[in-house]
C-alpha cells in the first residue's frame, strides 16, 4: 500500500504540467484579486501611448485641417514604440512590484504612482542616452518620462482601485485590558 501511494504521487507529479511564470506568481491569489491587477497592468501599458496620441491629435487640430493618413501613421508609430517600451517595463518591474505590495498589504495609490513615475523617468533617460541625445534636451525627455510614468500609475490605480484605508496593526499586548 505504501508503494502504491508513492507511485501514484510520482505519476501525478510527472503527468501534471508545471506551473511557471505569471501563473505561478499569481497562483496563490484569488481570481477576483488577480484579474484587476492584470487589467491594471494592461491599462498602464496603454496609458502613456494613448495620452501622447491624444496630444498629437490636439496639436494637429490647432494647426488646421487634419491629415488622416499622417495621423494614422503617427498613431501606429506612437502605439508601436509606446507599447514596446512600456510592456517590458510593466511586466518586468511593475507586475512584480505590485504583487509584492499586494502581498504585504501596502498596495496604495502613492506607492504605485511614485514607483511608476520613477520607472518612467529612468526609462526615458535611458532612451535619451540611447538616442545619442540628438532630438531633445535631457530635461524634455525627463519630463516626458515623469509624465508617462505618472499616467501609467494613475491608469493602473484607476482600474485596480487599491485600498487606501489605514488599518494599523496593534502592537503585542495592546488592546488587552
Interatomic CA distance for residues 163 and 105, integer angstroms = 9
Length of the chain (residues) = 177
Q: Per mean pLDDT, which range of 9-13, 85-89, 150-154, 168-172 is the poorest?
A: 9-13
CB 98 within 8 A of CB 140: no
Higher confidence at residue 31 or residue 132? 132
Q: Per mean pLDDT, which range of 52-61, 68-77, 111-120, 127-136 is the poorest?
A: 127-136
pLDDT score, position 32: 47
Interatomic CA distance for residues 170 and 167, integer angstroms = 9
pLDDT score, position 141: 84
Interatomic CA distance for residues 170 and 168, integer angstroms = 6
pTM of the predicted model as reported, rounded to 2 decimal places: 0.70
- What does the pLDDT look like over 3-60, one tens digit per residue? 555 445 554 544 455 555 555 455 555 544 567 899 999 999 999 999 999 988 888 8
C-alpha cell, 164: 487606501
Amino acid at each position: 500500500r505504501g508503494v502504491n501511494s508513492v507511485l501514484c504521487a510520482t505519476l501525478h507529479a510527472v503527468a501534471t504540467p508545471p506551473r511557471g511564470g505569471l501563473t505561478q506568481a499569481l497562483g496563490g491569489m484569488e481570481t477576483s484579486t488577480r484579474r484587476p491587477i492584470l487589467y491594471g497592468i494592461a491599462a498602464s501599458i496603454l496609458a502613456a501611448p494613448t495620452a501622447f496620441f491624444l496630444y498629437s491629435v490636439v496639436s494637429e487640430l490647432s494647426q488646421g485641417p487634419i491629415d488622416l493618413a499622417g495621423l494614422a501613421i503617427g498613431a501606429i508609430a506612437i502605439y508601436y514604440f509606446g507599447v514596446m517600451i512600456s510592456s517590458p517595463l510593466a511586466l518586468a518591474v511593475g507586475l512584480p512590484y505590485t504583487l509584492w505590495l499586494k502581498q504585504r498589504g501596502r498596495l496604495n495609490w502613492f506607492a504605485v504612482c511614485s514607483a511608476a513615475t520613477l520607472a518612467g523617468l529612468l526609462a526615458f533617460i535611458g532612451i535619451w542616452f540611447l538616442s545619442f541625445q540628438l532630438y531633445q534636451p535631457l530635461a524634455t525627455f525627463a519630463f516626458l518620462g515623469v509624465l508617462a510614468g505618472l499616467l501609467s500609475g494613475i491608469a493602473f490605480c484607476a482600474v485596480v482601485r487599491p485600498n487606501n484605508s489605514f488599518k494599523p496593526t496593534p502592537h503585542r499586548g495592546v488592546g488587552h485590558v
